[in-house]
Amino acid sequence: VQLQASGGGLVQAGGSLRLSCATTIRTFSSYAMGWFRQAPGKEREFVAVISSGGTTYYRDSVKGRFTISRDNAKNTAYLQMNSLKPEDTAVYYCAAARWTRQHFSDRVDEYAYWGQGTLVTVSS
């Protein structure tokens, strides 16, 4: 299984980026997809998750600004990030786990597969 995150870059505060996570998971529709981020010197933290059943959950600081989605036909998950802030600067990772349709998690250690990360830099 491979996950490939892309779409990061440099953007000014208030701007937008759309991250993509392309996977080789054949039964992609059965997997929950999560996005995490890690800023320099900090631990990896949860950002958003979408269950295989389509339920979404976000960390409080990104609610109303970020939207997670998935395209099961393309085996790809997305993270639309709007109104970006300098504190959103981090390497963003996508992750996958196979659970029941409504299950999801914000715990790093519960995800089986990880992408390599894509850097998002938000300038003030």
Residue 11 main-chain phi, psi, to 5 deg: -145, 150
Q: CA-to-CA distance for 70 and 93, rounded, in angstroms?
A: 15
User: Per-residue pLDDT averaged across 85-109, rounded?
Assistant: 94
Residue labelled with tokens 């970020």? 66
pLDDT at 100 over 90: no
Q: CA-to-CA distance for 60 and 85, rounded, in angstroms?
A: 14
User: Per-residue pLDDT averaged across 59-86, rounded?
Assistant: 98
Averaged pLDDT score across all residues of the chain:
97
List pLDDT tens digits, range 13-68. 999 999 999 999 999 999 999 999 999 999 999 999 999 999 999 999 999 999 99
Q: Which of 95, 93, 91, 120 is nearest to 32 (CA)?
A: 95
User: Per-residue pLDDT averaged across 109-122, rounded?
Assistant: 97
